[in-house]
Each structure stands twice: as C-alpha cells, then as structure tokens.
Structure 1
Amino acid sequence: MNVYSFDGLVVAALLFICTCAYLKRVPRVSSWLLSEKKGFFGVFYKAAVIGVRLHSLVALSCLSAAVYVLFVR
C-alpha cells in the first residue's frame, strides 16, 4: 500500500492511533512514551487519547478501511 495516497494515509493514521491506544495500557511504555503532553511526544499522547475515548469510532473506521483495502481496491 502506498502511504502517499489518501487511503494509505488513512490506514497509517488508524494504525498509529490503535498502536498508541494499546501502548497506553502498558505501564512501562505509558510512563516513558506517553508522559509528555506537548511537543513531539505529545503526538503519541494525543493519538492515545483519541484511541481510548473514541474507541468505537476508531474500530468502525478500521473495519471499513479493511473492507475497502481488501475488496474495493
């Protein structure tokens, strides 16, 4: 999949959000990676918050992106 196309960018963003939300549940990684709320590491924190708070919409988006990539494209 090409990351420079729109659908590749959406899939990469969804994977990033899901990964950060998962890493928020791991204590060592959470204290190291997700402790900063501003700057470069703040992007990881904000993606984790989006993944945790909007988990149903993120899951629905992941399923729709998977269907698109597997069957439409």
Structure 2
Amino acid sequence: LSSVYSFDGIVVFGILFICTCAYLKKVPRLNSWLLSEKKGVWGVFYKAAVIGTRLHHAVAITCLSMALYLVFIK
C-alpha cells in the first residue's frame, strides 16, 4: 500500500490512465459516452485520450522505460 504514495506509483498510474483513455477513444460506444465532455471532471478523460493519441511514441517510450525501471532497478 505504501507504493501507492510513492513517485513511482503516481507515474505508473498516470501512464496507465493515459493508455487506457487512448484505447477507449478507439471504442465507438465508450468514446461517445465517456469522452464526449471536454470540460470539467469528465474532461480529464478526454484530455488524457488526446495526450495518448497525439504523443503515442513518447507515451510508449515512457511506458517501456518505466517497466524496465520497475523490473531491473527497483
């Protein structure tokens, strides 16, 4: 439970959140339901999906480097 409050846990959560929202943007039913709002609390999902689709190379490299860090260094 203490890893939730560490910097590593926050970074992993952010990366997984961005990847999940980018994936949900490709599903038509979930796209219209979850990612239709662009402002407010629900807008966070839309903004994460935009980050995931526009910066997919950077997100993939970050995901891979975080995985290698967690497996080999930590």
TM bin, normalised by shorter chain, reads: over 0.9
Gap regions ≥5 residues in structure 1: none
* Aligned AA (1:5): S
Q: CA deviation at 1:63?
A: 0.1
Q: CA deviation at 1:55?
A: 0.1
Secondary structure class of the residue paired with 1:3: helix
**1:39 paired to 2:40:** yes
Look up the match of 1:11. Answer: 12
Structure 2 distance, partners of 1:5, 1:11, is 10
Gap regions ≥5 residues in structure 2: none
Moved over 4 A (4+): none
Counting aligned pairs with the same residue, the percent is 70
Structure 2 distance, partners of 1:4, 1:26, is 32
Aligned residues: 73
TM-score (norm 2): 0.96
Structure 2 distance, partners of 1:3, 1:15, is 14
* Partner deviation per Cα, 1:8-63 (whole Å, 9 max, x = no partner): 10000000000000000000000000000001100000000000000000000000
